[in-house]
Amino acid sequence: MPYNQNLSKFPHLKNLFNIPYEPTRQDPLPILWCGLWTRGFASSATWQTHPSGQRRHSDWQVRGDRAHPSSQGMVCVKGATVSETLHKDRLQFPMMRDAIGQPLRRVSWDEALNRIVDRIQTVRETQGVDAICMYGSGQFQTEDYYIAQKLLKGCLGTNNFDANSRLCMSSAVAGYIRSFGSDGPPCCYDDLDLTDCAFLIGTNTAECHPIVFNRLRRHHKNNPHVKLIVVDPRCTPTAKVADLHLAIHPGTDIDLLNGIAHLLVRWGNLDGSFIQQHTQGFAEFLELIRTYTPDFVAQRCRISPTDLETAARYWGEASRVLSMWSMGINQSSEGTAKVCSIVNLHLMTGQIGKPGAGPFSLTGQPNAMGGREAGGLCGLLPGYRSVVNPEHRAEVEQFWQLPAGQISPIPVAPPGR
């Protein structure tokens, strides 16, 4: 989740509020988390503009930022065409109406903000603060998410904030918290260039996360020893370039993962020191996977025992295993259990906490991870903290200079509270 580090680097924000701003050729305008630059076709220090004086999307240019730590200058289709949205039916001024059947009318920012504040105050005074809620978006920048938490959870005192992560990432959130106690993926994009075994499950990365995949694929092609395993019932563009494609029967992900674990235990491909020092419940886990024999798993997943053993051998022999998954794992009634099963493989082999290794969830929208880091779900607070933890609430209250007890300990208020 690459995010903006210094808002002073974003003079383009002035353009979003219709404030004149003329960049120079040396004045790049990075506007997206994925490291895009947008800039008008410039002659000297001016933009090319339409004779009417209005800028059109054709007056803008998009190129990747080669210095960006994650995208490294690569641009996906969505990013390459972002300029088409800059002036196409975009809202430039606050618009308001008093009734749904009335036409919208342009109002000032003062009038719009006063209306919002008055409505919030009325609801808070008549129905209570938990009658107020906010739903965020993956299009939020990290700073937007943070200020929203400060407003809702700090100023108003309600945890009724949720966002797109509730729909696309809840399984990853719950799986990370259950396994590690915190929703913080222990990986980074540099790991794509360092792994020697990439295990992709429930993700068509080539089409859905092309920048990530192109970077991984480049590493894969340039290093013949690197293995790429793709688990997907379909033969996707991602699966077509894999060293091993496991076309399992839909819904048998946990069977496959436990079957790999069974073989790793049988072959002794474990990190005993890591298990002893950093895990709990390993004896119970051994009992769980005891029945996941190659024949049983192969029958359940409808793959060959040989392919299952190949996957386990690639994992067991690798020095650095990086697993990645997306909606194919998360969007499931067993999504949390599937995430924990992936994490279990990393824990039992010590494939975590080192370069090129770890369980890496791929988000469904651009800044879903940034939102979670800033507390963008009803049960979270900024910095991987939890609203149910009294120490975490006290830390945030002190940092925000709030009175003790201002942040509610209840993630979602019950009706009538």
At 40 the pLDDT is: 33
Q: How far is residue 37's CA from residue 172's CA, in Å, rounded to a whole number?
A: 31
Task: Count Cβ atoms below 10 Å from residue 255 Cβ, excluding itself.
Answer: 20
At 257 the pLDDT is: 98
At 45 the pLDDT is: 24
Largest CA distance in the chain: 75
At 59 the pLDDT is: 64
At 84 the pLDDT is: 74
Q: Are 306 and 221 in contact (CB under 8 A)?
A: no
Q: Are 250 and 233 in contact (CB under 8 A)?
A: yes
Residue 201 reports pLDDT greater than 80: yes
| Positive/negative CA dihedral, 94, 98, 104, 106 | negative
Q: How far is residue 339's CA from residue 346's CA, in Å, rounded to a whole number?
A: 11
Range(s) of the chain covered by CATH 3.40.228.10: 170-362
Mean pLDDT of the 68-73 span: 76
Closest CA to 169 of 7, 325, 348: 325
At 373 the pLDDT is: 87
In CATH terms, the superfamily for domain 170-362 is Dimethylsulfoxide Reductase, domain 2 (3.40.228.10)
Check: pTM over 0.85? Answer yes or no: no
* Catalytically active residues, by annotation: 78, 168-169, 327, 364-365
Which range scores top for mean pLDDT: 49-63, 258-272, 364-378? 258-272
Q: Over the chain, what is the mean pLDDT?
A: 84
Residue 151 reports pLDDT greater than 90: yes
For β-strands 358-361 and 321-325, DSSP reports them as parallel
Summarised one tens digit per residue, pLDDT across range 82-109 is 777 766 677 889 999 999 999 999 999 9
Which one has a higher pLDDT value, 21 or 384? 384
Which one has a higher pLDDT value, 170 or 338? 338
| Positive/negative CA dihedral, 381, 384, 385, 386 | positive
Residue 266's pLDDT band, with cuts at 50, 70 and 90, is: very high
Mean pLDDT of the 232-242 span: 97
Summarised one tens digit per residue, pLDDT across range 298-354 is 999 999 999 999 999 999 999 999 999 999 999 899 999 999 999 999 999 999 999
Residues in the chain: 417
Q: How far is residue 314's CA from residue 229's CA, in Å, rounded to a whole number?
A: 8
Residue 52's pLDDT band, with cuts at 50, 70 and 90, is: low
Closest CA to 60 of 88, 35, 34: 88
SS3 string, the chain, reads CCCCCCHHHCCCHHHHCCCCCCCCCCCCCECCCCCEEEEECEECCEECCCCCCCCCHHHEEEEECCCCCCCCCCCCHHHHCHHHHCCCCCCCCCEECCCCCCCCEECCHHHHHHHHHHHHHHHHHHHCHHHCCEECCCCCCHHHHHHHHHHHHHHHCCCCEECCHHHHCHHHHHHHHHHHCCCCCCCCHHHHHCCCEEEEECCCHHHHCHHHHHHHHHHHHHCCCCEEEEECCCCCHHHHCCCEEECCCCCCHHHHHHHHHHHHHHHCCCCHHHHHHHCCCHHHHHHHHCCCCHHHHHHHHCCCHHHHHHHHHHHHHCCCEEEEECHHHHCCCCHHHHHHHHHHHHHHHCCCCCCCCEEEECCCCCCHHHHHHCCCCCCEECCCEECCCHHHHHHHHHHCCCCCCCCCCCCCCCCCC
* Residue partners of 298: CB distance under 8 A and separation at least 6: 259, 304, 305, 308
Which one has a higher pLDDT value, 252 or 90? 252
* Residue partners of 210: CB distance under 8 A and separation at least 6: 74, 76, 77
At 12 the pLDDT is: 34
Mean pLDDT of the 134-156 span: 90
Both structure tokens of 341? 């099963």
Task: Count Cβ atoms below 10 Å from residue 374 Cβ, excluding itself.
Answer: 26
Both structure tokens of 175? 């799986």
At 53 the pLDDT is: 54
Residue 55's pLDDT band, with cuts at 50, 70 and 90, is: low
Which one has a higher pLDDT value, 30 or 154? 154
* Burial status of residue 126 (CB atoms within 10 A of its CB: 0-12, 13-18, 19 or more): exposed
Residue 296's pLDDT band, with cuts at 50, 70 and 90, is: very high
Comparing 36-50, 202-216, 379-393, the range with the smallest average pLDDT is: 36-50
Q: How far is residue 111's CA from residue 95's CA, in Å, rounded to a whole number?
A: 10
Which one has a higher pLDDT value, 4 or 49? 49
